[in-house]
Amino acid sequence: MKASIKGAIQARAANPDWWRGAVIYQVYPRSYQDSTGDGVGDLAGITQRLDHIASLGVDGVWISPFFKSPMKDFGYDVSDYRDVDPMFGSLADFDALVARAHELGLKVLIDLVLSHTSDQHPWFVESRAHRQNPKADWYVWAEAKPDGTPPNNWLSIFGGSAWQWDGGRMQYYLHNFLTSQPDLNFHCPEVQDELLGVAEFWLERGVDGFRLDTINFYVHDKQLRDNPPLDPALRNDHIAPAVNPYNWQDHIYSKNQPENLEFLERLRAVMKPYGAAAVGEVGDAQRGLEILGEYTRGEDRMQMCYAFELLSKNLPTAAYIAETMHKMEEVAAEGWACWAFSNHDVPRHMSRWHLSDAAARAYVVLMMCLRGSACLYQGEELGLPEADVAFEDLQDPYGIQFWPEFKGRDGCRTPMVWDGGVHGGFSHGNAARPWLPVAPEHLPKSVAEQEGDPDSMLEHYRRAVALRKAHEVLARGAQQIEAEGDLLVIRRTLEGREVLALFHLGEGEVVRDIDEGWSALDEARALGAVAPGEGRVTLGPWGFALMGR
C-alpha cells in the first residue's frame, strides 16, 4: 500500500466520524469534463476540475460509476468491477484523481453497483451457459410456471416483468432494472464474498467510502412469493414515474429482505479497518425512512442512507419538511440521513419545484441547517434548470421507454457548463459533439460567468456550505423542528450552543416573536438572511433568519 494511502487511512482513523454532517458533491463522470475531445467526460477531466469542487468548501466527492461496462445504463451495468472503462481512462487516471483529491482535503466516494451486473459480465456469461457450472447459482434463476409464464408477478423499475426468459438454461432470470442487468443472487455465499473483495480492492486504492446503489435491492425473497397489490391511496412516484405500473405493487418480497442486514454488517466489517464510510440509496416509495433507520442503526451497518422524500416532485413545504423530520425521529432516531434535492436520477430541483432564484437560495441554506449529511449534485451550485432534451437526442432507455409522459433522466445529465464558449467548456471547441447536447439556457449560468460575483448562485452556495462548516452544531447537533403555517422553525443544539433558523417557505410576509438573547450569526448577512429585530423577526417571501446564542 502506498504511503499516501496509508496517510489517508490514518487521517480517517483520527476522525472516524468525518462523514457525520459532511457535505458531499456528486459528479456524473460522462458529463463533468471531457479531457480527450471524444465528447464524453472522463476521470482526467474530473481531476482537472477538483479545484472547483474544493472551492465550494465541501468535504468530499461522490463519483458515479466509471467501471468497465457496455453502457446500456451508462455504467450502472458493470462488466468488470476491478477496472476502469477505457472511455473514462485507466486505473492510473483513477489513482491520480484520488491523490489530487486528498491533496485538496477532499474525500473520494465511489458508486458501487452491487445488486446486479451487466449481462456481459463474465460471471453471467458463465452462469447462463448451463445449469451445472461453478457460477450457475450466482444469479437469480427460476423455473417458469407450468403455463410458461414468469415465476411470479415482480415488476421491473424500467417497465414490464422483472423476469427475462433465457432459452439456453430454459429458465427465467431476475432483473429489477433493464433486461441487460441481471440480479446477483445474494443467497449464494460466494457472491457475497466476491463483492466484499471488490470493496476491498477499491479501499486498497485509497477510496474513502462508497455510495451504494439500490442498497435495499440486494436480497430477494428465496420463496419467490408474489408481491401484493398496493393500496392506490399509497401510490407515489418517488421511485418510478406515475405512468409505470411498478407503483401498483407493494414490493415486500422483491426487495427489503431481512437477510440484507447480514450482508451490510459484513461490508461494514471490511470497511472498518480503512475508516471508510458509505451512503446507501434506499429505493422504496412507502418505507424509505424506516429502511434508512434500520440500515444506519448502530456501529455495524452503514453510516448514512438517503431516501427520496426530498427528491420527490412536490415542492417541500414547511409542513412537509417538519412531517418528514418528525417521521425520522419516530422510525430512524438512531440512524443518519444524507439529504439531497437533486441527483442523476431526478429532474433538477430548480425546475422540478419551479423555484425562483430567492426560493432556491433559501432551500440550500435550509439544507445546511438540517440534521444529517448533505449531497449536492453537479451544476446545482450554478442554479441550473432541467435541460430540455429532444426525443432524437435521448440516450436514457428509461426515458425512451416512457416518453413523452416521462422524459427520462437525460435532462439532469447534460454536460457541466464551465464557460460560455463552444460546448460550454465541457470539451474544447473542435471536439466531438458531446454525448448529450449542452443546454443553451445553461451557458449564461456557467462557472466563468458566476465566479467572483458576490450576488451569483455559485457564491451563495459557497457561503451556505461555509455556514455549516463554521458551526459544528449544524453538522452534528440535536434538532427540534416545527411548522407554523409557511414558517419552518429549526432549533439545533450541541454542548450548550444553540442555533435558531427560521425559513418562510412561501409568499407574503410573516412576523414571529423570538426569545431574548438571540443574535444574528456572523455569516447571516452575507447569505441574505434577515436580521432579527427587538423580540421579533419579519420575513418576506422566501426570507430566512439565522441566529445563535
Q: Which amino acid is at 36?
A: T
Given 3-state DSSP classes, what are the helix, strand and coil percentages for the chain, each rounded to the nearest 5? Answer: 30, 20, 50
Same domain, 439 and 481: no
Alpha carbons 310 and 372: distance in angstroms, whole number = 13
Q: Is residue 380, in this structure, part of any structural domain at all?
A: yes
| Chain segment 145-188, per-residue pLDDT in tens | 999 999 999 999 999 999 999 999 999 999 999 999 999 999 99
Q: CB-side exposure of 316: number of CA atoms within 13 Å?
A: 24
pLDDT of residue 502: 98
Partners of 163 in the β-ladder: 174
Element (H, E) at 194: helix 189-204
| pLDDT tens track, the chain, 549 positions | 677 777 777 777 778 899 999 999 999 999 999 999 999 999 999 999 999 999 999 999 999 999 999 999 999 999 999 999 999 999 999 999 999 999 999 999 999 999 999 999 999 999 999 999 999 999 999 999 999 999 999 999 999 999 999 999 999 999 999 999 999 999 999 999 999 999 999 999 999 999 999 999 999 999 999 999 999 999 998 888 889 999 999 999 999 999 999 999 999 999 999 999 999 999 999 999 999 999 999 999 999 999 999 999 999 999 999 999 999 999 999 999 999 999 999 999 999 999 999 999 999 999 999 999 999 999 999 999 999 999 999 999 889 988 998 899 999 999 999 999 989 999 987 778 999 999 999 999 999 999 999 999 999 999 999 999 999 999 999 999 999 999 999 999 999 999 999 999 999 999 999 999 999 999 999 999 999 998 999 999 999 999 999
Same domain, 325 and 293: yes
Alpha carbons 169 and 36: distance in angstroms, whole number = 43
Helix (H, G, I), strand (E, B), or coil: what is residue 393? helix
**Residues spanned by the domain of 517:** 477-548
- CATH number for the domain spanning 487: value is 2.60.40.1180
Which one of 435, 468, 501 terminates a domain? 468
Same domain, 287 and 389: yes
Count CB atoms within 10 A of the CB of residue 193: 10
| Chain segment 40-70, per-residue pLDDT in tens | 999 999 999 999 999 999 999 999 999 999 9
Q: Which amino acid is at 96?
A: A
The answer to whether residue 281 is catalytic is: yes
Same domain, 197 and 231: yes
Same domain, 69 and 214: yes
Cα–Cα nearest to 312, from 389, 406, 241 = 241
Whether 30 and 435 have beta carbons less than 8 Å apart is answered as yes
Same domain, 424 and 488: no
Q: Is residue 239, in this structure, part of any structural domain at all?
A: yes
Q: Is residue 154, in this structure, part of any structural domain at all?
A: no
Q: Is residue 180, in this structure, part of any structural domain at all?
A: no
Alpha carbons 292 and 294: distance in angstroms, whole number = 5
Instruction: Quickly tell me which residue has 436580521 as its cell.
Output: 531
Which one of 468, 501, 523 terminates a domain? 468
8-state DSSP, 161: B
Whether 444 and 421 have beta carbons less than 8 Å apart is answered as no
Same domain, 367 and 243: yes
Partners of 375 in the β-ladder: 24, 340
- Residue 70: asked if its preceding bond is cis (omega within 30°), the reply is no
Whether 5 and 206 have beta carbons less than 8 Å apart is answered as yes
Same domain, 296 and 393: yes
- Residue 86: asked if its preceding bond is cis (omega within 30°), the reply is no
> Beta strands 510-513 and 478-484: pairing type?
unpaired
Same domain, 424 and 520: no
- Retrieve residue 307's grid coordinates: 431516501
pLDDT of residue 1: 64
Count of domains observed in the chain: 2
Which one of 468, 500, 525 terminates a domain? 468
Partners of 277 in the β-ladder: 209
Q: Is residue 271, in this structure, part of any structural domain at all?
A: yes
Q: Active-site residue among 73, 183, 281, 290?
A: 281
Element (H, E) at 108: strand 107-112
- Retrieve residue 437's grid coordinates: 447536447
> Beta strands 277-281 and 304-306: pairing type?
parallel
Same domain, 336 and 201: yes
Whether 119 and 181 have beta carbons less than 8 Å apart is answered as yes
Q: Is residue 166, in this structure, part of any structural domain at all?
A: no
Q: In what order do the strands lie in the sheet with 171-174?
A: 141-142, 171-174, 163-166
Q: Residue 498 CA to chain centroid, in angstroms?
A: 30
Listing DSSP states for 294-353 in one string gives: HHTSSSSS-SEEE-STTSSSS---HHHHHHHHHHHHHH-TT--BEEES--TTS--HHHHT
Q: Is residue 173, in this structure, part of any structural domain at all?
A: no
Instruction: Quickly tell me which residue has 448529450 as its cell.
Output: 436
What b/e readout covers 21-36, taking b as 16+ CB neighbours within 10 angstroms? bbbbbbbbbbbbbbbb
Whether 323 and 285 have beta carbons less than 8 Å apart is answered as no
Cβ neighbours of residue 545 closer than 8 Å, sequence gap 6 or more: 500, 501, 502, 520, 524, 529, 530, 531, 532, 537, 539
Cα–Cα nearest to 339, from 321, 323, 355, 352 = 321
Q: Which amino acid is at 482?
A: E
Element (H, E) at 538: strand 536-539
- CATH number for the domain spanning 300: value is 3.20.20.80
Helix (H, G, I), strand (E, B), or coil: what is residue 502? strand
Same domain, 457 and 482: no
Count CB atoms within 10 A of the CB of residue 197: 12
Helix (H, G, I), strand (E, B), or coil: what is residue 67? strand
Same domain, 290 and 395: yes
Q: Active-site residue among 59, 208, 213, 290?
A: 213
Q: Is residue 282, in this structure, part of any structural domain at all?
A: yes
Cα–Cα nearest to 506, from 408, 359, 376 = 359
Alpha carbons 355 and 347: distance in angstroms, whole number = 13
